[in-house]
Amino acid sequence: MFRHTKMLQFEAKPEKPDAVYAHKLQELIGGAFGEMTVTMQYLFQGWNCRIEGKYKDLIMDTATEEIGHVEMLATMVARLLEGAPATATAESVKDPVMAAVLGGMDPQQAIVAGGGALPADSNGYPWNGKFIVASGNLLADFRANAAAEAQGRLQTARLYNMTDDPGVKAMLKFNLARDTVHQKQWLRAIEELEADGLETDIAPSALFDEEDQVHNNTIWHLSDGPDGNKGGWSTGEDRIEYLMDPKPLGGPGTAPKPDPALYATYSPTQDTVGTIKGKAQSAKNKLS
Annotated binding residues for Mn(2+), as ranges?
35, 66, 69, 149, 182
H-run or E-run covering 241: strand 241-243
153: contact with a copy of itself by CB under 8 A: yes
Told to check if 167 binds a copy of itself by CB under 8 A, we report no
Amino acid of residue 25: L
Q: Does 237 bind a copy of itself (CB under 8 A)?
A: no
Query: Which residues between 85 and 114 bind a copy of itself (CB under 8 A)?
Result: 86-94, 96-97, 99-104, 106-108, 110-114
Asked if residues 55 and 173 have their Cβ atoms less than 8 Å apart, the reply is no
Q: Which residue from 35, 166, 167, 209 is in contact with a copy of itself, where contact means CB under 8 A? A: 209
Q: Taken in order 69, 73, 74, 75, is the CA torsion positive or negative? A: positive
**Residue 269 interacts with a copy of itself (CB under 8 A): yes or no:** no
Beta bridge partners of 218: 241
Cβ at position 38, least distance to a copy of itself in Å: 13
Under DSSP, the state recorded for 129 is G
The answer to whether the beta carbons of residues 34 and 97 sit under 8 Å apart is: no
Q: For residue 234, count other CB atoms closer than 10 A to its CB.
A: 13
By CB under 8 A, tell whether 50 contacts a copy of itself.
yes
Q: How far is the CB of 278 from a copy of itself (least distance, A)?
A: 8
Query: Binding a copy of itself by CB under 8 A: which of 35, 38, 70, 167?
Result: 70
Q: Is residue 166 part of the contact set for a copy of itself (CB under 8 A)?
A: no
Phi, psi (rounded to 5 degrees) for 120: -150, 170
Q: Are 103 and 115 in contact (CB under 8 A)?
A: no
Beta bridge partners, 241, equal 218
Q: Which is nearer to a copy of itself, 38 or 117 (CB)?
A: 117
State the minimum distance, in angstroms, from the CB of residue 178 to a copy of itself: 6
Residues flagged as binding site: 35, 57, 61, 66, 69, 149, 182, 223, 225
